[in-house]
Amino acid sequence: MSRTYYDVTLPYSPDLPAWPGESKPVIRRINDMDEGDGVNVSRIDACVHFGTHVDAPVHFIDGDRAAESLDVAVMVGPALVVEFPDAPAITADMLEGAGIPHDVDRILFKTRNSELWNNPAHDFFEDFAAIAADGAQWLVDRGVRLVGVDYLSIESFHTTDFAVHKTILGAGIVAVEGLDLRPVSGGVYEMACLPMKIVGADGAPARVVLWRDD
């Protein structure tokens, strides 16, 4: 048996776009062999919502669950990649027409956004494709437990009410943002989406890997 792996995680560096107003991460060596130290040791100072990451419910719902309590049973298992290559918004109608099996727990949406990662150092792009409010409600009603998107938010940059975040996170769905889905096409994969287990945090950087056994 051979297994093919797809790393759908963005390379984590200050080159990636940050959410407008958010400071980029600072990654620096505090011990450096080039300066005579016996070892290289780095520190990282970053927003937990930078790069590929998950949102915890407490991001938008004060007092709700934080990153350390997201369920690994939700974050490891089969995931369905669904392609919507042209749509600016993922609506309930589109989801209803996509033939998504009723027992799917984890869905990753591959949109036109993924092409933005051809240049990981691009400036933040405001008009990314995202989940519409009625699409979010569809996902909740269907009992989906994890949803992933290929830009930095599940929700339009132009939202004023944050209905998508509140609907998704309020239902306890794990939201995965900042995926690079260029390596995969539609279909079912095994997935491990593993965020840092940061106690009390509203989100956490995550490494996300898909694979298939041939």
Q: Using CB under 8 A, which of the segments 26-34, 89-97, 98-106, 144-152 binds a copy of itself?
A: 26-34
> Is 42:15 a contact under the CB 8 Å cutoff?
no
Site for a copy of itself in 50-79 (CB under 8 A): 52, 58-60, 62, 68, 72-73, 76-77
Which CB atom, from 10 or from 95, has the smaller least distance to a copy of itself? 10
Give the total of residues touching a copy of itself (CB under 8 A).
Answer: 55
Tokens for 112?
Answer: 């036109």
Q: Considering the rule CB under 8 A, would residue 127 count as an interface residue with a copy of itself?
A: no
Q: Considering the rule CB under 8 A, would residue 200 count as an interface residue with a copy of itself?
A: yes
Closest of 138, 133, 147 to residue 89, by C-alpha: 133
Q: Considering the rule CB under 8 A, would residue 122 count as an interface residue with a copy of itself?
A: no
> Is 176:167 a contact under the CB 8 Å cutoff?
no
Closest of 107, 181, 97 to residue 139, by C-alpha: 107
Tokens for 98?
Answer: 């996509």
Q: Using CB under 8 A, which of the segments 47-55, 93-101, 127-135, 150-158 binds a copy of itself?
A: 47-55
Identity at 164, one-letter amino acid code = V
> Is 205:195 a contact under the CB 8 Å cutoff?
yes
Catalytic residue among 59, 102, 122, 165: 59
Q: Considering the rule CB under 8 A, would residue 201 count as an interface residue with a copy of itself?
A: yes
Which CB atom, from 50 or from 84, has the smaller least distance to a copy of itself? 50
Which CB atom, from 95 or from 204, has the smaller least distance to a copy of itself? 204
DSSP code of 196?
A: -
Neighbours of 131 (CB within 10 A): 29
Tokens 């694979």 — which residue?
A: 211
> Is 145:173 a contact under the CB 8 Å cutoff?
yes
Q: Is 59 noted as a catalytic residue in this protein?
A: yes
- Which of 44, 119, 125, 183 forms a contact with a copy of itself (CB under 8 A)? 44
Instruction: Report the alpha-carbon distance of residue 128 to residue 177 in Å, rounded.
Output: 12
Q: Considering the rule CB under 8 A, would residue 49 count as an interface residue with a copy of itself?
A: yes
> Is 203:53 a contact under the CB 8 Å cutoff?
yes
Query: Annotated catalytic sites, by residue?
Result: 59
Chain positions contacting a copy of itself, by CB under 8 A: 3, 5, 7, 9-13, 15, 22, 27, 29-30, 33-34, 38-49, 52, 58-60, 62, 68, 72-73, 76-77, 162, 192, 194-203, 205-209, 211
